[in-house]
Every structure is written in structure tokens, then in C-alpha cells.
Amino acid sequence: MNYFSSDFKLGILGGGQLGKMLLNETRKFDIYTCVLDANNEAPCKIGSHEFHLGSLMDFETVYQFGKQVDVLTIEIENVNVDALDKLEKEGVKVYPSSDTLRIIQNKATQKLFYIDHNLPTAPFSRFAYKSEIKDTIENGGLKFPFVWKATQFGYDGTGVKVVRSLDDLELLPKGECIAEELIPFKKELSVIVARNIKGEIKTFPVVEMEFHPEANQVEYVICPARIDSEIAKKAEHIALKTSDALKHVGLLAVELFLTQSDDIIINEVAPRPHNSGHQTIEANYTSQFEQHIRAILNLPFGSTASKVGGIMVNLVGEEGHEGNVVYEHIEEIMNMEGVTPHIYGKKKTRPFRKMGHVTIVHEDINEARIIAEKVKNTIKVISK
């Protein structure tokens, strides 16, 4: 198949920042792209050859869009999998497959998959309704504190909450959920695995994630992770085992907990480019976005090795600010060595909304972490 400067069409479901960064790579290779998103001001609108407006959860919209392309991929998991299933049966290549997405879309199904495939994960209980949790607590089947997770549609810190009391429970939305044992972990790690149609695999170096205590969002991604090589190997082994079990095509970000006893357990996975791989644009020989394109088109993989230590800082909307966005002190951070801002193109900010990220590269990862802190404390995402 001739993908380059041809009439081949790649479809992307979702027009957010991950799609925008995928489009940087398709532009580099001159691959024709069509994007579907429900937001007429989506970041992808400017970079795609064709922008289609419509709901990713609507069967007919996704089906009709998919019929117009040769290969279909995603930049968000919340899409209509029944439409993807039908498209696959009709010969459209869909990566990751509808089968993979069905497992990952629902956190309860995802957790049961780990247990069925002997993959280590935190103990959990599944509830059809929030009210069932209270009964289980009263009967001694569940103890505080625990982690509540909505089974569907959670993202960027929404749909996840540490529950320490019945009062915390009252504030949560109703609906299907899981209650997970709270793991007192030392570090949160992530491994991104690329897998192509032939089943060939390549992993990116293990990264460490530092989270915002209130927003439950990643504040810093640090590569290489500050762990010893044996733990890194263990993390990579579990990520590869997870990838093999899911048989995904494209990228799989495997988020992991490093426990106090140096065990590695799976938190959750995402079958697409991921926040924990943004630093690869500047810090690695091949970015996660280019590798995703190579994987879904069955092209040879690029080297995933790091050229230099890299840290990613998320740019999120400041609390108390909502409306047209302003990036305050951006010139100051651009004046720092090894610092590259990425602005996603969202016109409106709100508290904790992901608006961009900044990469800091440095030979010394500890020095990069100091600069990252300066970046975080300098640039502010506010409204007019």
C-alpha cells in the first residue's frame, strides 16, 4: 500500500490534542487525513485534510465516517464500538480493534480481563449502582479508604475519587462503578508499548509520573524513571504481557503502581497515544505519535531510545479562571534552556483543563526536574 502522497485516507476518531499531535506526523509523511469530532473548534480542525462534525458515540455517524477511509484509528476510547465492529466486518481496517476497545472502555471489564489473564492489579469490587457500596460497607465487605472509579467516560481526573467516609460517598455520581483497594504505592510508572499488525513490539523507556494531589492529574512525567534497572525490567515485562493479552494494534500505555514492597501492579491502560509519552517528541529518536502511525500502517518501527533526559509538565487552566485563554509569562519559560511549549489550540480555559504541555530536556534528569518546577511556577494559564 502506498500511504505517502497518494489517495490513501487515514481516519481519526477524535479531534483533541492527541489527534493534533498525530497530525504533525501525518503531515510530515504527507498522509491524507480525515478527522471526526463533535466540537467545531477541536484542535484537529486546522491540521486535517477533512474535518467532519459529529458525535463519536453515535452509531450511524461513526459508521458513515468509517466507510470513507481505508484505515481508522482513535485518539480517545469513548467511541461507538458497534459501528467499528460493523466496519471491520465490511473490510475497513480498524486499529485498535473493536474487541480491544470493548475490553478497555469499561473499567470493570478491564479489571476482570487482568484477573482472567493473570495480570497483577489491585483488588476490587464491581457495583451496578452506587447505593450497593453503602450496603457492602455496612456488612463489612468494604473498608475505608478505597478508590471509587466510574466504569465509563472518566478522563483527566474525572471519574476517580479516593473515598474516606460516607460523606465522600454521598458526593459521587450514581451509576456503575468499581471500588478498588487503595494501594500505598511508592511511585506511579508508565510504559508505552507499540505493537503492529504483524505482532512486532517495541517499548518506550519506563517513565515516572508525579500527580497533582487534588486534581488527580499528572503534573510531571519524568523519563527515565528514577528507579533501579530491575524494577524497570519488571515494569516492562508486565506491560509486554498486557500488550500480548490484549493483542492491540497501535500504542498501549500501561499505567502501573510500584508498591512499598517493590511489586508492580497495573492501574489501567489506554490504547492510544498518552499523556505519559508527550516528552518523546523532543527527547526520543521516534515520538510516540510517529510510532503509532508506523504501527497501524505496518511500517517499520523507529528507535524508541531516549536521546536525552526529558520531563513533561502539563499546562492546565488555573483555578478561578474560565473563558478566553491567556498564557501568562510564556516568553519567560521560552527563555530557559531546553524548554519547548506545546499549545493545544483550545480557545477557552477552565480550572484544570489540559491546555498544553511543556517539555524540558537536559542531560541530567535531576537538573531537568528543577527547571520543570521553575516552568510550572512561572507560566500561568488564565482567562482574559
Return binding residues. 107, 149, 180-183, 188, 267-268
Number of Cβ atoms within 10 Å of the Cβ of 324? 11
Known binding-site positions for ATP = 107, 149, 180-183, 188, 267-268
Which residues, in sequence order, are CB contacts of 327 under 8 Å at separation 6+? Answer: 315, 341, 343, 355, 356, 379, 380, 381
